[in-house]
């Protein structure tokens, strides 16, 4: 295993975590030539770059011809690059983390199972186990991307059409076993699902402890999420940058601080002539033995599992694959769930009748 990163400190941490069983390369991965060169020597590539580098990396790895599994959460639609990746002889499974990732795959599985599938809902959140006043929140990934969830309008599907709702809209309280009551709000997380699945009602909502959303709405109303400069004592200041400088240190996990990841993917539709709800639930916590946060575990392990399947040819072909495109592959689903279970991440399926008999 070769680990490449531009930050020496990050390489040191990674090497220590895997007990020295890897080679590290200090490399500037904002350069596609560097990525292509490193990829050419590899049997399979796993990408975990920041989102703004995602699309560039996809093209660079494709050019090397090496299979690729990516969790970069690129803002662009990766399926738009399918022809480019195919033309370069590449094969890439993208968005292969927890959400997007397992959320897509399980949504696809439910959509296959129900006929027709009438509605799909994804609820997902990464949270600290201990909630502390006032935020009851810490950021398991880039806090800037968290704020983005609080400002970007959310696209959902209603009556088969994409509709847009404001960020932080339609908060609802929901109970999750092992966690308690959480509050869900609309986020722009359907991504490829909005196009690949023909389900008339689909939405993704993000989960927080109750109260957090209201505070974020207040900060937004105050103008603290604005990217428009304001004049402060004769100087131009971007409020969001001040907010980031003040909030991000408070939203950073302490070393060893326990986090949790909770996700529910739920669909309703007809199964054997009966209106049925199928639900997949997962709840994971920081692994105190390895120090891996739950956010790292739930995001990385699906990607490494799929990387192994790319390596041994279980997943083959060319072009760009989003996870829901693997929903018909029961062998892929079974192996993913088994390998996640071996690492203590248990996805549980439930099924119930809904509505009138």
How far is it, in rounded angstroms, from Cα 306 to Cα 339? Answer: 10
Nearer to a copy of itself, 176 or 225 (CB): 225
Stretch that binds a copy of itself, among 101-109, 210-218, 282-290, 331-339 (CB under 8 A): 210-218
Nearer to a copy of itself, 31 or 151 (CB): 151
Nearest approach in angstroms of CB 252 to a copy of itself is 14
Nearer to a copy of itself, 6 or 232 (CB): 232
Q: Say whether residue 173 binds a copy of itself (CB under 8 A).
A: no
Q: Which of residues 176-205 bind a copy of itself (CB under 8 A)?
A: none
The strand pairing partners of 155, in sequence order, are 164
Nearest approach in angstroms of CB 169 to a copy of itself is 15
How far is it, in rounded angstroms, from Cα 40 to Cα 25? Answer: 14
Looking at the chain, the number of H-run helices and the number of E-run strands are: 11, 17
Q: Which of residues 112-141 bind a copy of itself (CB under 8 A)?
A: 133-134
Nearer to a copy of itself, 191 or 212 (CB): 212
Residue pair 116/270 in contact by the 8 Å Cβ criterion: yes
Nearest approach in angstroms of CB 293 to a copy of itself is 24
Nearer to a copy of itself, 1 or 232 (CB): 232
* Strand order from edge to edge, sheet including 91-93: 45-47, 68-70, 91-93, 319-321
> What does residue 215 show for φ and ψ, rounded to 5 degrees?
-65, -40
Question: Cα angle at 332 between 331 and 337, to 5 degrees?
Answer: 100
Please tell me the count of residues contacting a copy of itself according to CB under 8 A: 23
Q: Is the dihedral of CA 20, 62, 340, 342 positive or negative?
A: negative
Residue 320: closest CA among 148, 78, 34, 61: 78
Nearest approach in angstroms of CB 260 to a copy of itself is 23
Nearest approach in angstroms of CB 240 to a copy of itself is 10
Nearer to a copy of itself, 54 or 239 (CB): 239
Give the x-and-dash track for 211-250 against a copy of itself (CB under 8 A).
----x-xx--xxxx-----xxxx-x-xxx-xx--xxx--x
Q: Which of residues 271-330 bind a copy of itself (CB under 8 A)?
A: none
Residue pair 36/62 in contact by the 8 Å Cβ criterion: no
The strand pairing partners of 351, in sequence order, are 278
How far is it, in rounded angstroms, from Cα 172 to Cα 153? Answer: 17
Nearest approach in angstroms of CB 158 to a copy of itself is 27
Nearer to a copy of itself, 241 or 312 (CB): 241
Paired sense of beta strands 201-208 and 117-128, if any = parallel
Which residues would be at the binding site for a copy of itself (CB under 8 A)?
A: 133-134, 215, 217-218, 221-224, 230-233, 235, 237-239, 241-242, 245-247, 250
């Amino acid at each position: 295993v070769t680990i490449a990163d531009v930050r020496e400190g990050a390489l040191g941490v990674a090497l220590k975590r895997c007990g020295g069983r890897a080679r590290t390369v200090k490399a500037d991965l904002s350069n596609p030539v560097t990525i292509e060169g490193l990829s050419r020597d590899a049997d399979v590539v796993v990408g975990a770059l920041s989102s703004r580098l995602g699309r560039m990396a996809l093209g660079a790895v494709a050019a090397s011809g090496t299979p690729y599994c990516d969790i970069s959460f690129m803002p662009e639609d990766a399926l738009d690059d399918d022809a480019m990746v195919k033309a370069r002889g590449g094969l890439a499974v993208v968005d292969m983390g927890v959400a997007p990732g397992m959320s897509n795959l399980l949504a696809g599985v439910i959509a296959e199972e129900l006929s027709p599938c009438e509605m799909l809902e994804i609820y997902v959140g990464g949270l600290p186990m201990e909630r502390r006043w006032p935020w009851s929140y810490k950021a398991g990934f880039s806090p800037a991307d968290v704020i983005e969830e609080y400002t970007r309008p959310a696209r959902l599907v209603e009556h088969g059409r994409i509709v847009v709702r404001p960020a932080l809209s339609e908060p609802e309280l929901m109970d999750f076993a092992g966690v308690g009551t959480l509050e869900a709000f609309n986020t722009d997380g359907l991504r490829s699902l909005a196009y690949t699945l023909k389900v008339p009602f689909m939405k993704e909502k993000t989960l927080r402890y109750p109260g957090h959303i209201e505070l974020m709405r207040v900060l937004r109303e105050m103008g603290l999420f604005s990217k428009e400069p304001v004049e402060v004592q004769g100087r131009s200041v971007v409020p969001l940058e001040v907010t980031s400088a003040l909030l991000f240190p408070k939203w950073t996990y302490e070393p060893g601080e326990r986090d949790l990841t909770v996700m529910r993917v739920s669909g309703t539709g007809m199964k054997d002539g009966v209106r049925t709800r199928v639900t997949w639930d997962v709840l994971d916590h920081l692994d105190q033995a390895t120090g891996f946060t739950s956010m790292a575990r739930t995001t990385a392990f699906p990607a490494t599992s799929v990387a192994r399947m790319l390596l041994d040819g279980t997943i083959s072909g060319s072009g760009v694959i989003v996870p829901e495109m693997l929903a018909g592959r029961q062998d892929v689903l079974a192996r993913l769930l088994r390998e996640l279970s071996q690492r203590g991440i248990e996805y549980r399926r439930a099924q119930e009748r809904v509505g009138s008999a």
